Chains A and B, each alone.
Chain A
């Protein structure tokens, strides 16, 4: 095959970056004082990259805490950001809705990464709904260049209007690589604290005017977006359709319909409705191409726009060039099921294969949780009966215990990973100690000393910070004892397999209230840690 093109000298410094790397570079160049978050595919690499670039980055126990810390940084006049996956924003939503009222003194950007098609998630919720519900601006990049540009713009908008800003990423932006040209970095904002209870203390008397201020800000931002927002018009061939789109859908649509006219929206909330309606009226046929929910199509229809949306079947999963072609052609032929690939599985040598073998052997009903160990639900182990969201294993396990006939209730165990335990298990454990089922309960913490599924990030139990400096590891046994759990023990799932089986059988049969920690490092993380610290493995 011939070389596609001869080498061209690059006019400007250009970099080939993943969307997550580009967002991190954007935050660094925006002068962000601190980045915090909780790992979650596809957002996980942003903070590691920000740290590598010299930024102050940390892993919080969960997304709510991350958003709160970031808000505190922004109250101190500096620029902060928090990273999370789409379901993480559910956890941080409590902060978001009221931070929208309070506003910020510096800047606060929340980077939220959706996972249409659920490559590595339990649902494919559409984060754009949060921008509408909380009343905050949202920017949606379509490639790495925009991930960089929109990150910087998000900080600028946040600082200008004193409002938190959402940056909506998706798997195909986070984990796709494309070329970016960066700009001059901005100087950081010097921290300061101004006592202003009117904006910082959201009691009803302050929150009522704050809600009005929020709506006034949004009206101003909407007007700015109409005139000066990061929205692109592309002229089309005569008679070609006009496509209104945003995010990676734009890239698919440009390729699927090279002759079409485009109105590509960069700031999707508050949307540039007037400009979009004018575009729709300027073409013979206006089609909205968007991934997941018909958020944009509904908004344009509600505003009186004569537009076409996608048939319902395209609401599920990711879009692609082929699917956009089908939407434009009105082709609703059922799509073939995806080919049978090898499903992900627990790693060879994962110590927790052994943990689940014992749990299964004792005939337990397993209320599971989110992490690598969720893969134990797959055959041949098939050792998980429920899995919903971070921390749910404990609450769901307790509900089952409360309700099932005694013989079944006493077989219920909750299983949670170490990072998930700090994320959302502490309150579940308090519930277990407080509203204890008549048959007691058993919580098994699978401690592999890392947040393994998302790429081995540290957490409050590992003894390390994100930047590799040592931290004080929090002790699971001490937590359990402080919460009045009677039976608390730690086992090595490989070396102490028999002792664990005996203890678990005893706890189930004798209806004890027990927390068992099965501690053995993730095989992948152990290698990485040895490499980093120079320790012998």
Chain B
């Protein structure tokens, strides 16, 4: 039994309740035992006391889209290394995409992940179960058995289901088990051989573009099917102005729809590719500045519910290639919070909204107790210095892969302490 822990003199920011004020939190037995805003808190004699000195105390982040390499590509990332990166980034829980080898398309693999994560990862790993076997878009997996094994949602990860009929069946069946479908919408034939956003910049680089419609057309289809089937549907990767409009319209009619955006699409645009920088080649391509502004507005106005890192470790072998031949993806667990705070520092989105999109909204979508600072909630918490200046250096990141889309970026804001289930799993040292 660990000692009770008191964090006092903190700026408590809890998006679930809209709280932003000074206070203290008492942690006992892995949960928040007491919360005092302004007033005193009852402190057991043996409690360890941390003076937060005015730092922000927020719920630990819940990252809705993370790829690891375990099982199958452990040299890229293990659950342990992803856990280290997550802890250092203030991410206390992450949804792990099923794109492993073998894919997470069977209860036994889910069970393996749950046990393996408990044994090796510093943070909570929430497996997403594949919608189709091998994520191949052909045959449905056993939704119910995987849910029993611990899967929190359904997703084919990087892959997008092309068959409308299959997707309809999957949605109906998911609704049957009340599981949320996370879908990354790509019309594969329209995206074709495209490797970046369609437009002048792709033309200048001589690269094939991916039209925005390759995202919006299947998104429209999905939202119609979601209404038809009554499934809880999460549009996993919104990157265009058109998608924001489509989701906004659909949400006004269907409360079961939510949407997420990658931190990359909020902070970067197609120009960051420069001269074929493959770390900026992403599964959801970086779009134009107009699109970036539109998704920021979507986040601010509540059309977009969640922000995720889209953490996708890739080794240099597959990244140091000509742009069209290189793998997609960038790591992001460790930079998620600081990059998101850019939106706060630039006065684009209020702090509570940004944190909500990484704490209470993901928790609501996933049906988790975490993601809030309330009596009885799990003690998954972060202490954050909102203005701490630092520069990203790929060699100092904890992920096993180096492919950060924020290499060299100057960021303001850093996690000073991360607590998972009452245990400190990361402590910043200067």
Are A and B bound to each other? no
Residues of A within 8 A of B (CB): none
Residues of B within 8 A of A (CB): none
